Amino acid sequence: MASRIGGRLFGSLARSRGLSSSVGQSRNLNVGVLGCGRIGQVHLETLCYNVPEANPVMVMDAFESAAKSAVEKYGVEKYTLNDEELISSKDVDAVWICTPSQFHADQIKMAASHGKHIFCEKPIATDLKGTLEAVEFAKSKGVKLMTAFQRRFDPNFMKVKNAVQGGEVGKPIFVKTVSRDPAPPPLEYVKGGGGLFKDMAIHDIDICRWMADSEADSVFVTGSMMVSDLSSCEGPEAIDTALTMIKFKNGVTGLIDNCRQAPYGYDQRIEVFGDKGMVASENNFPNTVKKLTAEGVETDLPYSFFMTRYMEAYKNETIEFCKAVSQDLPVPATGSDGAEALRIAMAAGKALAENRWVKLDEINP
């Protein structure tokens, strides 16, 4: 079930920065959080300390120790070990799905059938058929379903998007992203996780699609096992390094550079090149101090933990979802966005296996 690694980090950060709970303030969205592991705690932290409009009233986890810990840590009223109990509660208006991926589709359908709005960590489901079914079911019930593509809400990525959307670099030609992790994940995480494209590159895929403002036409990939031992894995799970090229229908080309290991830190960069200029975002650093002496140059390495790097993005996406619900606005990253990113990831896996360009219309449920 949900991992609980690193759960204390965000509570200590919030308190060290003097952030206080919004208890006593006016709140209008009662929230239930499914999954009290690492990502569940990230969202609880944001909901409790940064979004006055949200009121976490219940949490759920299959491990009682995790659920009880979340209740005590964040001052939530109650917990349950049963997802349906939380989802069906009359006290819950919206559900945050932070459970392992294999439970997402069923929990989306359950929440939609109870008329609850849904914020879901990627993926919507582990396969395209299940994803499309969940997305369509939520639509049929008239509830909002948002896919948690947090990079869209990072201030740097947002500024790049605004420059592109505002025509500041002219007509986009290339979108290039770099996403490299500090160290490879454990083998048990990789096995069954869907592989490099569904697990890691899917965020870059979404960003390229978002920046290109177009649907993908075809995909080509070159990839290999370079920095870890994945010899017991198969398909996209057996690679840790890849270059993915996406041709979009409007002529834009996306190029994604992924690697499971960058010893210098969490490497997150983007560039959009257009016919009138270029806009780019480099890595974030704990600070920008640079010391130069006769012995050389000393500067900080990039952040080494994705939650630290994207802390502001997690807060922003939560604020935007709450705004969409309270003001009845479209969510800024839809279930359909999640489905299309998954379709491209699947095309990338097929392209790798067959060493050819794969058209997106080849990928069907």
Residues 118, 162, single domain; the answer is no
In the chain, the amino acid numbered 184 is: P
Summarised one tens digit per residue, pLDDT across range 76-86 is: 999 999 999 99
Q: How far apart are the first and last CA of the chain?
A: 26
Domain count, the chain: 2
What integer pLDDT is reported at residue 193 of this predicted model?
80
Q: Is the pLDDT score of 52 beyond 70?
A: yes
| DSSP-based helix, strand, coil % in the chain, nearest 5 | 40, 25, 35
- In sequence order, the β-bridge partners of residue 148 are 121
- In sequence order, the β-bridge partners of residue 55 are 30
Q: Which of 100, 126, 143 is the last residue of a domain?
A: 143
Report how far residue 81's alpha carbon sits from residue 62's, in angstroms, rounded to the nearest whole number.
5
151 Rama sector, left if φ>0, alpha if ψ -120 to 50, beta otherwise: alpha
Q: Please report, rounded to a whole number, the percentage of residues in the chain having pLDDT higher than 90.
A: 85
Q: What SS3 state is found at 199?
A: helix
Domain interval for residue 135: 7-143
Residues 339, 320 contacting (CB under 8 angstroms): no
In the chain, the amino acid numbered 320 is: E
Q: Which of 143, 160, 175 is the last residue of a domain?
A: 143
Summarised one tens digit per residue, pLDDT across range 152-186 is: 999 999 999 999 999 999 999 999 999 999 999 99
Report how far residue 363's alpha carbon sits from residue 349's, in angstroms, rounded to the nearest whole number.
11
Report how far residue 323's alpha carbon sits from residue 330's, in angstroms, rounded to the nearest whole number.
9
What integer pLDDT is reported at residue 3 of this predicted model?
32
Query: What CATH number has the domain bearing residue 218?
Result: 3.30.360.10
Summarised one tens digit per residue, pLDDT across range 1-10 is: 333 233 333 3
Give the pTM: 0.88
Read off the tokens for 306.
């994705």
| 22-34 mean pLDDT | 70
What integer pLDDT is reported at residue 155 of this predicted model?
97
Residues 76, 11, single domain; the answer is yes
Residues 213, 68, single domain; the answer is no
- In sequence order, the β-bridge partners of residue 172 are 274
